[in-house]
Amino acid sequence: MDGKVTLRSAACALVRRDLRLLWRRRGDALQPALFAILVVVLFALALGNERGMLAAVAPAVLWVAVLLSGLLSLDNLFRGDAEDGSLEQWLLAPVPLAWLVLVRTLVHWATTALPLVLATPLLAELLGLPHDLLPVLLLSLALGTPLLSLVGAVVAALTVGMRRAGVLLALLALPLYVPILVFGAGSMSAAARGFDPGGGLLLLAAGLVLALVLAPVAAAAALRIAHA
């Protein structure tokens, strides 16, 4: 590695750093996943003796659990970097800020949402979800969760200038999450009733493509504003 900074080298440095930090704080990193699992288990216990109903609400419960656990870790997306001055160095880096935001957001997704998506078959089993719906559920989560992270990144960037953004962050993010939830859970209920889930999934995919391009730019602009 010589002194030259490329998009790739900056991304590698950032990914390496985030994974190291994650490992140093592996206890904290598990919290969102544990939270989601707890929510699902609580539902399973509460509706335990009505298997039919449990299976019927399973897609919605899984989606809401994933969404809420994502919200839980959203505030940490940029806050730590803003507070210790890392963000100042991001602004000075010779690569676009939007690129760093994208990398950071995707790493965040991979470390908070992805494990949950991978654990979904287990949770689905717990709720008694019909097996033929599992692929649709996994696909909708695979498309929906990165979209949630990207939209959440914009909101997190907007509120990073505030000392404590907790509830405000949720209030700002949830309305934006609604369409994602509607299409994600909607595709599941369509599939459960034997219709083609393709419409909702395609809309999620379109949203993801759009967010991949636009959200980092918007979040970068918000970070610049918050830092000015």
Partner 1 sequence: MKLSFVVAAMTTFSAAALPAAQVEAADAPVRIHAGLLIDGTGASLKDATVTVQGDRIVSVESGAKGPWAIDLVKATVLPGLIDNHVHITWHFNDDGRADMTKTPREQQGLKWAENLKKTLMAGYTTVQSIGSADDLLLRKEIASGDLIGPRLLTSSTAFNDVKMSPDDARAFVRARKAEGADLIKMFASKSSREGGGATLSAEVVAAVCDEARKQNLRVWVHAHGDDSIRRVVAGKCTTVVHGSLATPPMFKLMADNGVNFEPTVGVVTQNYIAHEKNYTGIGNYTPEAFVNMRAFVKDQGARWKTMFTSAPRLNILTGSDAVAGAEGHNAEEVIFRVQNGWPAMSGIVSTTSRNAKALGLEGTTGGTIRIGGRDADPATRARHVAYLGHLPGLKADLSSLENLDYLCGLLGRRPGMAIEQALATVGLAGFEDAPARTLSAGQRKRLALARLWLSPAALWLLDEPYANLDLPGIELVNHMVRAHLDDGGGALVTTHGAYAAPPVRTRLLALGEEGD
Binding residues for partner 1 (CB under 8 A): 1-5, 9-10, 12-14, 16-17, 20-21, 24-25, 83-86, 88-96, 100
d(CA 59, CA 37): 14
**Nearer Cβ to partner 1 (100/219):** 100
Q: How far is the CB of 82 from partner 1 (least distance, A)?
A: 9
Surface-to-core class of residue 45, CB atoms within 10 Å of its CB (0-12 exposed, 13-18 middle, 19+ buried): exposed
Decide if 60 contacts 185 (C-beta within 8 A): yes
| Closest CB 87 distance from partner 1, rounded Å | 8
Instruction: Of 29, 166, 161, give the one whose Cα is nearest residue 83.
Output: 161
Nearest approach, Cβ of residue 10 and partner 1 (Å): 5
Q: C-beta of 204: minimal distance to partner 1 in Å?
A: 32
Whichever of 28 and 196 has its CB closer to partner 1, that residue is 28
Q: Looking at beta carbons only, is 17 or 164 nearer to partner 1? A: 17
Residue among 96 and 130 whose Cβ is closer to partner 1:
96
Find, among 96, 76, 214, the residue nearest to 156 by Cα.
76
Please give the Cα distance from 81 to 89 (Å, whole number): 10
State in angstroms the smallest separation of the CB of 28 from partner 1: 10
Q: Which is nearer to partner 1, 12 or 46 (CB)?
A: 12
Judged by beta carbon, residue 14 or residue 74, the one nearer partner 1 is 14
**CB proximity list for 12: less than 8 A, separation 6 or greater:** none
H/E element, 193? none
Contact 210, 77 (CB under 8 A): no
What is the distance between the alpha carbons of residues 61 and 123, in angstroms, rounded to a whole number? 10
CB of 166 to partner 1, least distance (A): 22
Angle between helices 97-127 and 76-83 (to 10 degrees): 140
